[in-house]
Structure 1
């Protein structure tokens, strides 16, 4: 009897050793017990709309016609890149060079167009936020007449933001109370006039914390709990200013390094954990595999090697925890750098299968309370990202090959033998002790 009990304990260990002999992680630790982020429940999915990829003129109306498609990606918040009147003096074509904070650029449409877009988005259950550029203005902005509203050098000359290389813009002086009041009044204008729901604040770390604290407090007094504020920055202190969302700079860079073979998934998990350390309840980091800055340099297909690599990276960025971001063009695998200084014609029907895969992934995200609210655990499975969410009733396992090679890896040992349903295909399996994954293949399983 004792001999049988001994065999029953040894046999599974022998089988596990047999399976892992062909694994690419050569017996590395199976389970990473570091608590990556705990519960990171989140109801927000952001879609960043670059007007210049929707139409060469009347882009706001063009975006409005695509709201159902944008909504089908799970979007709950539509972020519009800057649509204000742009400067001409010293300009290079950047929409972040604002001539008039209260005036739309006519290339995008009219006030009626933007009001219609916001109203229809609200009817479809989406909030709308504008991009806000509070650190600087164009050189031909009317504010430039008030010289003390701008930062000056020792000779009394207005300067561009130091160390940034942005010669097309002039740096604002937040020591000036009148400038601050005008900035806040301009921010209130769009909420009161168009009924937008908040702002994505460009270069938020270039603006004093006490301004953001005042601005967010006063904007919330107008908009209430519907106000959503996203900071382009990495400092955790921005949460204390009142921002709901803050960029995950380090995570995005680490994700690229993992797919380039320059870093490890252990390092990615560590960065994820660090970015969530001490975050107040209800606040989130923005998670993305690309955005307008990254896509302007390289297409996701270049960064992550091909379409499948780009999809694999998106699965990790959207499923590992945080607020997912989709940048207009990535959902159809646009394969070239995409400058937001120029117009680019996008054929939204060019890659229907890829688009449908995005829709299916985000439907899973939207419908899975386990994924959005469960407790997260990560595992060491070589170059395959493996993480598991669990709540009181369900479990959800995600595994993603981050390489362009076929990999055979150990499954997380505590998950081996579980009945699992593939949420992408509907197939039900008993999870084996080892799995082979095609280049950039991923699985999303729900525990049966």
Structure 2
């Protein structure tokens, strides 16, 4: 019996020794890619179908802080008056919450790209403003600040989304003194994606019609290409893109419009007596030549920056008549005209963007009538918008003719604060025209006498 047990034990031992060791196989880790849960917001309202062609635009910049009350509702109450000027595009200065940390009150220190400044009202008030503008056949564009945010924007927790110095400190925009804002880092793809989504947000959420993009020269052009290409995938909207910049790269990136900084500077110089009137033609042609043919210049006699730094148009152009004469040149030579709210009523002082500056929008009805007249003539004449320009150089009078097909207009502006006896150019002598504002017949012989800063707008 014991022998039998010994044999069984020995056999079991031998069998165990004959087994090979088995190494456990660890399965590869399962990598779970988080689903992309982003979805565009639902479309609010019906997309506006009346966005004008670029050549037909007349733009009006709204600074909410000049209205009484200084709210979205305050602007809505003035839409009929704005429309009556001949405006078809409204640009709203920033409507977003303003940062508090390191703040100086600038509306361009954005705390929340998808928020609404509660001082102006609610999202519903903003939507109503846009809807009411659309009902009056006016498009609405927002101001977009891509270069920087406020220091208390929620994005600041993503430090890599911002430019940093060698010590890893977030910096202000290079080359500026804007201490109230932090410079964004466009090498960060996550930041770029978040910004583009925020731009799309307002097209859907408030049914807007595009953007005026602040400080566009300081943002890489490849970002603008990416952003505008993405926005253009929204096929339900025809969107307007205005760059506060001057580089041809911005137009190549998809902007239809950029700024006529040099034109404004030249206008100021002419009316200050430091530049000859004929320099406006050189400036005009140089600006147009500096951008691709797909682009157009925004032309203005003031805007929110210039109304703050240079003061009233009545000061810059020496009088109400001078302000209107300058606007004729901005509106008629080449490009798209802009009116900054307050200029049409001749507000006499500077307009700060940092505080409320209530404007009396019932003032100077004669000046308002002058702006209406100038804009109405532009709207009626393709020659003004797209015609070929012929300049007639003169030491005092800015004279030019524009033709498009059978449409032929002649613009004569006395750029001097004095009476000028204008010698009619040989090619225009003994010609008969019609006054574009009064429909009276006008004969041009060899001379024409202009009172200070007066202008003559003629048509064939």
When the two structures are superposed, what TM-score results if normalisation uses the length of structure 1?
0.88
Residue in 1 that maps onto 2:220: 208
CA shift, 1:224, in A, is: 5.5
CA shift, 1:425, in A, is: 2.4
CA shift, 1:108, in A, is: 0.7
User: Is 2:296–2:335's contact at 8 Å kept on the other side of the alignment?
Assistant: yes
Residue in 1 that maps onto 2:15: none
Residue in 1 that maps onto 2:147: 135
Question: Structure 2 residue aligned with 1:330, among 336, 340, 343?
Answer: 343
Question: Structure 1 residue aligned with 2:241, among 229, 239, 244?
Answer: 229
Question: Structure 1 residue aligned with 2:59, among 29, 37, 46?
Answer: 46
Residue in 1 that maps onto 2:436: 423
* Counterpart secondary structure, 1:445: strand
- How do 1:293-332 residues align onto structure 2 when only pairs under 5 Å count? 293-297=305-309, 298-332=311-345
CA separation in 1, counterparts of 2:173 and 2:153? 16
CA separation in 2, counterparts of 1:293 and 1:249? 11
CA shift, 1:394, in A, is: 2.9
- The superposition leaves residues 297-351 of structure 1 with CA deviations (integer Å, 9 ceiling, x where unpaired) of 1111111112111111111111111000000010011110110111011111111
* Counterpart secondary structure, 1:99: coil
Residue in 1 that maps onto 2:161: 149
When the two structures are superposed, what TM-score results if normalisation uses the length of structure 2?
0.86
- The superposition leaves residues 106-162 of structure 1 with CA deviations (integer Å, 9 ceiling, x where unpaired) of 111111111111112112111100000000000111111111111111111111112
CA separation in 2, counterparts of 1:413 and 1:223? 52
Question: Structure 2 residue aligned with 1:83, among 88, 95, 100?
Answer: 95
Q: Which has the higher contact order (CA 8 A, sep 6+)?
A: 1
Distance 1:266 1:224, change over 3 A: farther
Residue in 2 that maps onto 1:410: 423
User: Is 2:247–2:291's contact at 8 Å kept on the other side of the alignment?
Assistant: no
- The superposition leaves residues 379-418 of structure 1 with CA deviations (integer Å, 9 ceiling, x where unpaired) of 1121211011112213111111111111111122212211
> Does the alignment pair 1:97 with 2:109?
yes
> Does the alignment pair 1:167 with 2:206?
no
User: Is 2:270–2:277's contact at 8 Å kept on the other side of the alignment?
Assistant: yes
CA separation in 1, counterparts of 2:404 and 2:149? 48
- How do 1:214-293 residues align onto structure 2 when only pairs under 5 Å count? 214-223=226-235, 226-277=238-289, 279-293=291-305
* Counterpart secondary structure, 1:444: strand
CA separation in 2, counterparts of 1:224 and 1:282? 22
CA shift, 1:265, in A, is: 2.6
**Contiguous gaps of at least 5 residues in structure 2:** 1-52
User: Is 1:390–1:396's contact at 8 Å kept on the other side of the alignment?
Assistant: yes
> Does the alignment pair 1:387 with 2:400?
yes
Distance 1:223 1:48, change over 3 A: farther
Question: Structure 1 residue aligned with 2:79, among 67, 75, 85?
Answer: 67
CA separation in 2, counterparts of 1:41 and 1:431? 34
CA separation in 2, counterparts of 1:416 and 1:225? 49
* Counterpart secondary structure, 2:112: strand
CA separation in 2, counterparts of 1:394 and 1:124? 29
**Number of equivalent positions:** 407
CA separation in 1, counterparts of 2:399 and 2:283? 16
- The superposition leaves residues 170-205 of structure 1 with CA deviations (integer Å, 9 ceiling, x where unpaired) of 000111111111111110100011110110000001
* Counterpart secondary structure, 2:230: helix
Distance 1:41 1:223, change over 3 A: closer
CA separation in 1, counterparts of 2:259 and 2:291? 13
* Counterpart secondary structure, 1:345: coil
CA separation in 1, counterparts of 2:302 and 2:397? 21
**Contiguous gaps of at least 5 residues in structure 1:** 1-39
Distance 1:41 1:203, change over 3 A: closer
User: Alpha carbon RMSD of aligned pairs, Å?
Assistant: 1.5
- The superposition leaves residues 50-108 of structure 1 with CA deviations (integer Å, 9 ceiling, x where unpaired) of 01001344x21111121121112221110000010000111111100100011100111
- The superposition leaves residues 263-314 of structure 1 with CA deviations (integer Å, 9 ceiling, x where unpaired) of 1232221111111116444421100011000000111111111211111111
> Does the alignment pair 1:347 with 2:337?
no
CA separation in 1, counterparts of 2:418 and 2:236? 50
> Does the alignment pair 1:108 with 2:117?
no
Rg (Cα) greater in structure: 2
CA separation in 1, counterparts of 2:170 and 2:290? 39
Residue in 2 that maps onto 1:29: none
